Amino acid sequence: MKKVYLLFTCQLLSVGVIAQSDGASDSLLTYQASALQFRQATQGVTMLQHYASGNVGIVTLQGTAASGGYRLAQEPQQHREAAFKSEGIKTVERFKLYGQFTYSRTWDDSLAWMLSGVAADNRPYYFAAGKAGKYDRQSYQMKGLASYALHPGKWYTGAGIDYLYQTAFRSVDPRPSVRQFALTIRPEITWKNDRHWLGVQPMIGYGYENTSVQYKNTQYQHNFDSYPERRTWLMMGMGYMQPRSGQGEQMNIRIRKGGLTLFHQYHQGGWELSTQAGWERQRSFFSRPPESSLKETRWGTYTLDRYQLALLAQQGQRHSLQFRAVLLNGEDFNSYSAPPLVQALNATNYHYQQQQVTVHYSHLSSRKVAWVPGWGASLVWQHEKKQDFITAHQLNYSMVTPSLSGELHRNKGGDRFHTRLTGGVQLPLSASVHVLPTQMTAFSREVVYYDYYYYHTTAASLDWQASYITRKVFSTLPAGVTLRVRYLQALGDISSPEPSIPVPGTNNIWSSLAFHLYL
C-alpha cells in the first residue's frame, strides 16, 4: 500500500507540472540541439530560468531489451525493462517549475558475482557468488525543481530535490534481497547581469541500502565443497574476499553526500554558451546490522570524489558543440576483522580512478527542402584503473571511441519523421592486468581477467533510431513512437591462453521501443 501511495503521489506531482503546456514539445524534443537544451534546463535554477520555453511536457511508455555475450563480467547476459516516465516544465507567474517521475521494472538473467542487485561497478564492498541467476528490480525515481524570481531580471532562487527508491530480488540460491533509498537536496541562488547568468548550487544528500542473503535449499548452504559457486563472499575490493555463512547474512550501507556546482550562461550574436563545473563527494559506510543502537561493526568506508566540467555552445538548431570531462577518484578504509584468523587492516586496500572526456558536434542544414539533412561527430576517451593492494590485483585500461552520424528530418502536414544512423569503433589504446599466481581465485578468472579481455578488444557499433510524431491519433495532443536498435560486434577473435579463464562473447544487441505523448 505504501508503494502504491508513493507511485500515485509522484505521478500527480510530475503530471501537474507538465499540464497545460504550449504544445511545442514535439518540435523542441525532436532535434538534438533543443533536446540538449531541455536536458540542461533540468540541472538547476540558473539553466531553468534561462530556458526559453515556458511550458514543455512529455509522457513516455518504453520497453527495452538487450542480449549478448560481449559485455562485462558483472553485467547480465539478458536484460529487459519496462518503464513509465513523465516530465515537464511549467511557468506560473514568478515561479518556474520542473517535475519528473519514473517507474521502471527490470528483469536480468545470467548475472553472476553481484548479489548487491543494484549495479555499482566501482564500489568495493558487496556480497557476491559465482552462480549466475535471475534478478527482478523495481525503481521509483522523482526529481523536482522550483525556481522563483526574487527580482525579475536580476536575482532568482530555488531548490531541487532528487528521490530514489529501489528493490532487487534474485530467484536462485544464494538469494539476495536489496532495498535502497536516496534523497538529495540542491538549493541555488542565481544572479543575472545583461547577457550573463551566474548560479551557485550546494548539494547535500543521504541514503541507505540494506542487503540480506538467504538460502532456500539447505544443501547449497552447508555443502560448499560440492557447490563452490553457491558460496556467499564478502567482497572488499577487486580480489580481497572473505567467505560468509550465507544464511541470514546482512549488509547495511549508510550514504552521505555533499558537493558544489557552479553555472554560467552567456549569449551573444545568436550563440548560447553554457558552462557547468562541479565537485561531489560521497561517503559510504559498510557494516553488518548493529547489535544495539550504540554499537556498529563497521567493515569499511568508501569515499568517492567526482569532478565534472561541461560546456555547451549552440547556434539555434544549426550548430551544437558539446564538451564534457569527468574525473572519479575512490579510496576505501578497510577495518574488517574476524578474530583470530583475520585481523583488521585499518588502512586503504582499494583504489579506483576513472577519467572520461567527450567531445560532440552536430550540424543541421538550414536549407528549406523536404528532407532536412544533418550530421554529427563525436570522440570519447576513457581511462580506468582499479587496484587491490592485499591481493595484488590490478586492472588498467584506456580506450578511444570515435563515431560519425547522419540524420534526416521531415515535417509534412503536421506530422514529423526523424531518423539517425551512427557508426563507431571502440579502439583500445592500452590494457593490462596483474594478478599474483598465489592470489588467483575464481573471481580473478571469471571477473578480473574476463573484463581485461573485454577492454582489450576492438569492437564496432551501429546505432539506428527512427521517430514518427503525428496529431492524427489524438485531436489535441501530438503522439509519437521511437524505435532504436544498437548493435555491438567484436572485431577479431577473443581467446585466452588459459582454458579455465572465460572470455566475452562476440556481439551484443540492444533495442528499445517507446510511445510518447507531447503535452
User: Which grid coordinates are listed for 166?
Assistant: 529501489
* Residue 216 CA, distance from chain mean position: 32
Residue 70 domain-assigned (yes or no): no
The confidence score (pLDDT) of residue 296 equals 64
Residue 386 domain-assigned (yes or no): yes
Residue 477 domain-assigned (yes or no): yes
H-state helical runs in 19-140: 25-28, 32-41, 45-50
Question: How deeply is 177 buried, as exposed, middle or buried, from its count of CB atoms within 10 A (0-12, 13-18, 19+)?
Answer: middle
- Per-residue b or e along 49-71, where b marks 16 or more CB atoms closer than 10 Å to that residue's CB: bbbebebbbbbbebebebbbebb
pTM to 2 decimal places? 0.91
Residue 369 domain-assigned (yes or no): yes
**319: part of which helix (H) or strand (E)?**
strand 319-334
73 closest CA partner among 387, 503, 497, 510: 503
Residue 46 domain-assigned (yes or no): no
**How many helices (H) and strands (E) would you count in the chain?**
7, 21
Count of beta carbons in the 10 Å neighbourhood of residue 131: 19
User: Which grid coordinates are listed for 479?
Assistant: 503522439
The confidence score (pLDDT) of residue 483 equals 97
The band of 4, judged by pLDDT with boundaries at 50, 70 and 90, is: very low
Question: How confident is the model over 470-475, as a mean pLDDT?
Answer: 84
Residue 462 domain-assigned (yes or no): yes
Question: How confident is the model over 306-322, as a mean pLDDT?
Answer: 94
Host domain of residue 466: 365-519
The confidence score (pLDDT) of residue 23 equals 46
Q: What is the pLDDT of residues 219-269, one digit of tens each?
A: 887 777 788 999 999 999 999 999 887 667 899 999 999 999 999 999 888
Q: Can you point out the beta strands (E) in 133-287?
A: 133-151, 155-170, 175-193, 196-214, 232-236, 241-244, 249-268, 271-287
37 closest CA partner among 89, 83, 86: 89
Overall domain count for the chain: 1
Q: What is the pLDDT of residues 155-168, one digit of tens each?
A: 999 999 999 999 99
The confidence score (pLDDT) of residue 266 equals 93
Residue 459 domain-assigned (yes or no): yes
Q: What is the pLDDT of residues 372-385, one digit of tens each?
A: 999 999 999 999 99
How much is the CA Rg of the chain, to the nearest whole Å? Answer: 25
Q: Is the pLDDT of residue 10 over 70?
A: no
The band of 43, judged by pLDDT with boundaries at 50, 70 and 90, is: very high
- Per-residue b or e along 326-338, where b marks 16 or more CB atoms closer than 10 Å to that residue's CB: ebbbbbbbbbbee
CB 322, CB 359: distance < 8 Å: yes
Q: What is the pLDDT of residues 106-131, one digit of tens each?
A: 999 999 999 986 666 688 999 999 99
Residue 481 domain-assigned (yes or no): yes
